């Protein structure tokens, strides 16, 4: 994963244009079956419009004495992302309005975007900015916005059920490590792992898209089926550092994914639980009323919480092989939790005859063994409303024990899996 | 308000007859658009029957030596309300059955009624009663019950929504201040205030009717539409003294009006919260199963709680200009609470593009400002189930700040008001 | 009851055959109207099949020196219930596999069954077992399994409502006192008591059947109407000793029978409350998803809790006249609780005119009497969702007082009984 991040790191991504396309092409090589969609500029997507493509080739800010202050070639976050083109001599005082730096992080170049307002600008360290002398500067950005399309990619990994889990991550940040490359590289690893699974109960639909506008576009182009086919979703971001293990709740907070992830995250050393009110990524779009895809987020250290966030310091040293692996583990365990979070119904009316299947005492004296008791309890509560974990809690038994007993009862044709049934009133 | 109370005070009201009619005529002068309804004697109204009209001209109880014990001309509560006529000489021992006094309040004339049983009687102070000498008394009541009608008045103040709030007060008590004249005079002032409002979200239907039989008659003649068109109601009584500020809950206790009034009442110096089990006025009819108009009551000091209640001591000194104004404030603030208790839904699917409306950062670096966060939170929870107050609570923000943000989002066409939507299961 | 238990004690019952039939014939003599059903061997009943009949005439285990180790004639639990026939000489070591004893209760013969596996065996005290010498034993059981039928009996005691309460008890254990004879003998007494009741609100359907397979057969042959016609059920077992008073909750635990029985059991000296997870009798079949007959169990000391359970020590000394009477009282009080647990709805819209029915003050002054207040409260909450006990709790009044007021309002035609209404959302 860290190698892939290293490979994708230098690409100058934005919400549209060759950077996204190049990134998704590389991912497509790793994920057979990935479908790349292009949605033309100008397409209305919900309340939004697909923007023009952005292409940038060269950009340089030169000082009065010809010294290079910032060069795209050195760092692609030196240029305001989605910046207009410019080629002008400009006095320092006027230039200041086009400069972005972080006074409280003097060594960091901030990552700044301006997708929906016409702007040009350079991002530099505040230390460099403080040394700028009066005089005339040459601001040169060879960038253009042109008709084209927005690019996103989608991979469906079918499972036994047509109910889908939506895995969402984004590909629009240029050379930034934890936010964002950890997201797509963990997602690629996750997708490969999912494809290797022999038997998935749920189907998994993995979406790589530019943040916000990509999610909006995806929702717009899939709105008819999205809510019906999707059980829930997981957004993956900031998932490659060695810090926290974080779970951010869905809007309602009581989805099966919430119950599972809140349990899983507690098994790690630095668990963090966030409310939907702390959200800030694509779960905000999927969770909107009317879209109604309950989506949790899984992260290592949440965006905004680690200091390097959205600066040049969020580089390939923030994400580590162990951090990425830890993030992948968090997601895998959550999915494993969902996969094993099964709901069952009995196939026969009444308590089945366990004896004829060798599941009861041959002779019956004074007590019923614990295992037989558990069998009858599981049968009595397999009403499509108690997951195996719910049963384990109810019976105060280890989950794997309940799981085994459920499997046994399924093998004997006495239980069958069901999608969760709504409780009748 | 106190002047109007003073003007209406001497009128000999009862559940029917010229007293009610005269009172409503005076109110009609103050409330253009007030419609006065007459429902004929004998009309079946739910389980009840509209009673005959009562007219009383003269009544006097004279002692053995010709001394006047009680005279209608002195106080119209000297006579049992709705009393039969009588003209008889009667011994003291027999007279006692027709006398009403309060041993524990020797200076007070009790207010006693006998609407549905054939009775005659006089109400006097207990002090006077104790001095009565043996001998023959002359009981003279020139009253008659005759076919006619029950009179009530109704004013609809239309708002933007056809959903109505029913304001109920009663006009059947004669010279009694807090219970009852505070009710109609505060209601008149409230109606005038409502009519002055430029823009009401809800419609207000104001009903002045004799207590109990008037409410029953109103329900009977409006039963088809009543429950559907009415969001809820407020009963106004005992709302002119300088004591408590009281809110009595609706039957279910969880109506928007309950939530608002329970908050509003706490902002006053002597808040009192009563259960529906403490009820005793027309909310008891509107709240019955099948009638299903959730109705709260707003009061200053509740009936039965202040000692002057239903006696000659509940006169124009119990209600005061400041007491009436305080009562009006309580109701106005509750209605203002309801008017501002808005439910919203988003007009676009998904999170709208705030940037193109100037509601987002032009350039985006490391943090989202609190106000933008609040905007996205409000959008995410505008599902028709969270009122602005609910949002304020959820976001831990001052209500007026949320209100402002909501208005702004409405101005941008991103939110629109909705009647509260039921939560789907 | 103890006499009937004594009379039924010697009969060699099993899940089928002459023992059940003889037992039910005797019960039929005591319960006119009892219908005895025979369901042929081989009939498919839910997941089960009606087994063959078992008949046993003679059985004896003789030692190497001709001494009798166990004889059916001494105790019918000396033979494995539903045992195959056998007539063989067998070495002690081999015989051990066919012997059942209780090392921790050396003086007790265990009661062991083998209904659904082909087995033969003898049950003896562990003390006797320890004295067995090496050598050849003669195992002789003259028993046979043959086509026939399963026998159960059913008695419907009709009440005013067609809603039925199912009383379930079982008749398949041979000479065992508390588990099982206490069940049928208390049920017989209960049925006779029910038949003597002048006016039952609910109908009672009493089922005597062999445990498990009898309940399964009953459910199978009545499945179409069972859930609809049945309000809930009570299973009676272990209800004749002088120990605890026990209530075991239904699957959901919130049925009217749960609320009543949990209150009733607390009025006894040693109340025990068990969860549905502690179940082990026919309530497990009736409570299964899809069968949906909420069934509680009422017991004195629960099966498995008293040491004599399922051994020869559970004889006619474990059950006592006072123990049986106590058990009967527990059931009767629960049924009386249900019978008096009435739900009402108002017959008129709005609050009725109490005055014209003499239920209100003739003249009204300052206060409404407590009894009139209670009347209006009862009317306001008679929405088919508050039982009289719920009303008593709500109004903080003694139940009998509420009951009286409800009766009075019914007499005046203002309330009428209703089956419990579901709360609308």
Tell how far CA C169 is from the center of its chain. 4
Bridge pairing between strands B35-40 and A343-346: unpaired
Asked if the domains at A2-51+149-340 and A55-146 fall in one CATH topology, the answer is no
Q: Is the pLDDT of residue B424 over 80?
A: no
Averaged pLDDT, A38-44? 96
For residue B228, the model assigns a pLDDT of: 86
Averaged pLDDT, B209-219? 95
Of C356, C365, C368, the CB nearest to B110: C365
Of C346, C360, C414, the CB nearest to B289: C346
User: Please, what's the largest Cα pairwise distance for chain B?
Assistant: 100
Determine which of A34-38, B368-372, C67-71 has the lowest per-residue pLDDT on average: B368-372
Secondary structure (DSSP) of C140-155: EEEEEEES-EEEEEEE
For residue A420, the model assigns a pLDDT of: 65
A287 touches chain B (CB under 8 A): yes
Helix (H, G, I), strand (E, B) or coil at C74: coil
Residue with tokens 């010498």: C133
Domain range C54-146, CATH class? alpha beta
Beta strands in C92-163 (DSSP E): 99-100, 122-123, 136-146, 149-157
Q: What average pLDDT is seen over chain C?
A: 93
CB B234 within 8 A of CB B331: yes
Averaged pLDDT, A3-29? 96
For residue A15, the model assigns a pLDDT of: 95
Q: pLDDT tens across C79-123, in order?
A: 999 999 999 999 999 999 999 999 999 999 999 999 888 899 999
Of C350, C366, C368, the CB nearest to B219: C350
CB B282 within 8 A of CB B255: no
- Please determine, looking at this structure, whether the domain spanning C2-51+149-340 carries the CATH number 3.40.50.720: no
For residue A361, the model assigns a pLDDT of: 83
Give the start-to-end residue ranges of the domains of chain C.
2-51+149-340, 54-146, 343-418
Averaged pLDDT, B149-156? 98
Number of residue pairs across B and C with CB atoms under 8 Å?
88
Q: Find chains touching chain B: ≥3 CB pairs under 8 Å.
A: A, C
CB B93 within 8 A of CB B105: no
Indicate the fold that domain A55-146 takes in CATH. Glucose Oxidase; domain 1 (3.50.30)
**Angle, in degrees to the nearest 10, between helices C182-196 and C321-340:** 50
C352 touches chain B (CB under 8 A): yes
Q: Which two tokens stand for residue A123?
A: 């991002």
The residue of A357, A363, A422 whose CB has the most chain C CBs within 10 angstroms, and thus the best one to mutate to test that interface, is A363
Secondary structure (DSSP) of B44-71: EETTEEPPPEEEEEEEEEE-TTS-EEEE
CA distance A386 to A367: 27
C46 touches chain A (CB under 8 A): yes
Number of residue pairs across A and C with CB atoms under 8 Å?
88
For residue A172, the model assigns a pLDDT of: 95
Beta bridge partners of B151: B38
Q: Do B284 and C380 touch (CB under 8 A)?
A: yes
Helix (H, G, I), strand (E, B) or coil at A177: helix
Of C47, C111, C115, the CB nearest to A350: C47
* Banded model confidence at residue B425, pLDDT cuts 50, 70, 90: very low
* Banded model confidence at residue A363, pLDDT cuts 50, 70, 90: confident
In sequence order, what are the residues at sequence separation of 6 or more whose Cβ sits closer than 8 angstroms to the Cβ of residue A328?
A1, A186, A189, A190, A193, A239
For residue C421, the model assigns a pLDDT of: 60
Q: pLDDT tens across C230-266, in order?
A: 989 999 999 999 999 999 999 888 788 888 899 899 9
Q: Is the pLDDT of residue C180 over 50?
A: yes
For residue C277, the model assigns a pLDDT of: 87
Q: pLDDT tens across B62-85, in order?
A: 999 999 999 999 999 999 999 999
Q: Do A47 and B355 touch (CB under 8 A)?
A: no
The H-or-E segment that residue A145 falls in is strand A136-146
Q: pLDDT tens across A265-317, in order?
A: 999 999 999 999 899 899 989 988 888 899 999 999 999 999 999 999 999 99
Averaged pLDDT, B331-350? 89
Other beta carbons within 10 angstroms of residue C295's beta carbon come to 30
* Banded model confidence at residue B363, pLDDT cuts 50, 70, 90: confident
Of B332, B270, B275, B259, the residue nearest B301 (C-alpha) = B270
Q: Is the pLDDT of residue C179 over 90?
A: yes
Helix (H, G, I), strand (E, B) or coil at C369: coil
Indicate the fold that domain C343-418 takes in CATH. Outer Surface Protein A; domain 3 (3.90.930)
Greater confidence (A37 vs A361) lies with: A37
Residue with tokens 């009065």: A64
CA distance B369 to A416: 51
* For C384, nearest residue in chain B (alpha carbons): B289
Bridge pairing between strands B136-146 and B53-62: antiparallel
A424 touches chain B (CB under 8 A): no
Q: Is the pLDDT of residue C341 over 90?
A: no
Q: Is the pLDDT of residue C288 over 50?
A: yes
Q: What average pLDDT is seen over chain A?
A: 93
């Amino acid at each position: 994963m860290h190698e892939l991040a290293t490979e994708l790191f230098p690409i100058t991504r934005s919400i549209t244009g060759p950077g996204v396309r190049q990134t998704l092409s590389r991912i497509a090589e790793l994920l057979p079956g990935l479908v790349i969609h292009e949605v033309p500029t100008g397409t209305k997507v919900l309340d939004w419009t697909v923007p023009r493509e952005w292409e940038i080739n060269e950009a340089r800010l030169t000082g009065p004495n010809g010294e290079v202050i910032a060069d795209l070639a050195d760092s692609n976050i030196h240029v305001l992302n989605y910046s207009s083109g410019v080629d002008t001599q400009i006095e320092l005082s006027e230039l200041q309005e086009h400069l972005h730096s972080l006074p409280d992080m003097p060594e960091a170049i901030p990552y700044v975007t301006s997708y929906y307002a016409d702007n040009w600008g350079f991002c530099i360290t505040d230390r460099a900015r403080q040394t700028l002398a009066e005089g005339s500067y040459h601001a040169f950005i060879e960038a253009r916005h042109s008709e084209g399309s927005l690019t996103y990619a989608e991979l469906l990994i079918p499972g036994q059920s047509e109910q889908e889990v939506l895995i969402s991550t984004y590909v629009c940040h240029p050379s930034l490590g934890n936010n964002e490359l950890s997201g797509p590289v963990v997602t690629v690893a996750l997708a490969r792992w999912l494809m290797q699974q022999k038997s998935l109960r749920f189907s998994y639909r993995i979406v790589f898209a530019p943040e916000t506008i990509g999610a909006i576009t995806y929702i717009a182009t899939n709105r008819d089926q999205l809510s019906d086919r999707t059980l829930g979703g997981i957004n993956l971001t900031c998932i490659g550092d060695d810090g926290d293990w974080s779970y951010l709740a869905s809007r309602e907070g009581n989805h099966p994914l919430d119950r599972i992830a809140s349990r899983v995250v507690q098994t790690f050393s630095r668990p963090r639980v966030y409310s939907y009110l702390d959200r800030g990524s694509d779960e905000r779009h999927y969770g909107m009323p009317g879209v109604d895809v309950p989506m949790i987020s899984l992260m290592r250290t949440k965006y905004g919480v680690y200091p390097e966030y959205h600066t040049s310091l969020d580089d390939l040293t923030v994400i580590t092989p162990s951090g990425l692996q830890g993030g992948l583990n968090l997601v895998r365990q959550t999915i494993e939790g969902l996969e094993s979070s099964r709901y069952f119904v009995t196939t026969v009316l009444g308590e089945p005859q366990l004896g004829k299947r060798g599941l009861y005492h041959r002779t019956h004296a004074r007590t019923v063994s614990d295992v037989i008791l558990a069998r009858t309890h599981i049968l009595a509560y397999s009403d499509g409303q108690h997951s195996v974990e719910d049963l384990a809690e109810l019976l105060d038994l280890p989950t794997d024990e309940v799981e085994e007993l459920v499997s046994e009862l399924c093998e004997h044709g006495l239980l069958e899996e069901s999608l969760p049934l709504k409780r009748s009133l």
